[in-house]
Amino acid sequence: MRTMLIAMGIFAATSLSAFAAEPAKMVDTKMGKVLATEEGMTLYTFDKDQDGKSNCDEKCLKNWPAFHASQGAKPEGEWTLVKDSAGKDMWAYKGKPLYTFVKDKKEGDTTGDNVGGVWHVVK
């Protein structure tokens, strides 16, 4: 019986890590459901980025803040980590680095979609 309880405890502990929360969520917007931060701020991709590499420089990041990962965050599934221009870890989804937009003020705002023809909401 004791061995079975220990085995169940080990299984439960290792299973929890397999179900780690994703760093973002889906929110409803006028454009339909989009990917957003936990606070509900819409996430965007930048056409000038390359898979696994951010090309948004320091000036760019003032308007398009990187979706930074918390310390100790681990990539999982389609979620990976890349470095922003300052060398900080930021999230990427399906290889595309993710950003918010300074002109989005509340949950569900999508004012950054198609800015300059190179910024796009993530659906």
pLDDT, tens digit, 9 for 90 and up, residues 72-109: 999 999 999 999 998 999 999 999 999 999 999 999 99
Give the rounded distance of the alpha carbon of 71 from its chain centre: 14
- Read off the DSSP letter of residue 116: G
- β-bridge pairing 79-83 and 89-93: antiparallel
Predicted local distance difference test score (pLDDT) of residue 22: 86
pLDDT digits (tens, 9 = 90+) for 15-52: 334 445 789 999 999 999 999 999 999 999 999 999 88
Does residue 67 register a pLDDT over 60? yes
Angle (nearest 5°) at CA 31 between 75 and 20: 20
Does residue 12 register a pLDDT over 70? no
Q: In angstroms, what CA-CA distances link 14 with 11, 22, 59, 73, 94?
A: 5, 17, 42, 17, 25
**Rounded CA separation 106/16 (Å):** 32
Pair of tokens at residue 85 = 């221009």
Predicted local distance difference test score (pLDDT) of residue 51: 84
When pLDDT is cut at 50, 70 and 90, the band that residue 1 belongs to is low
Q: Which pTM was predicted?
A: 0.83
Predicted local distance difference test score (pLDDT) of residue 106: 97
Domain ranges of the chain: 22-121
Does residue 4 register a pLDDT over 70? no
Looking up tokens 């221009």 gives: 85
Pair of tokens at residue 76 = 């999982």
Neighbours of 40 (CB within 10 A): 15
Predicted local distance difference test score (pLDDT) of residue 20: 58
Closest CA to 56 of 115, 92, 97: 97
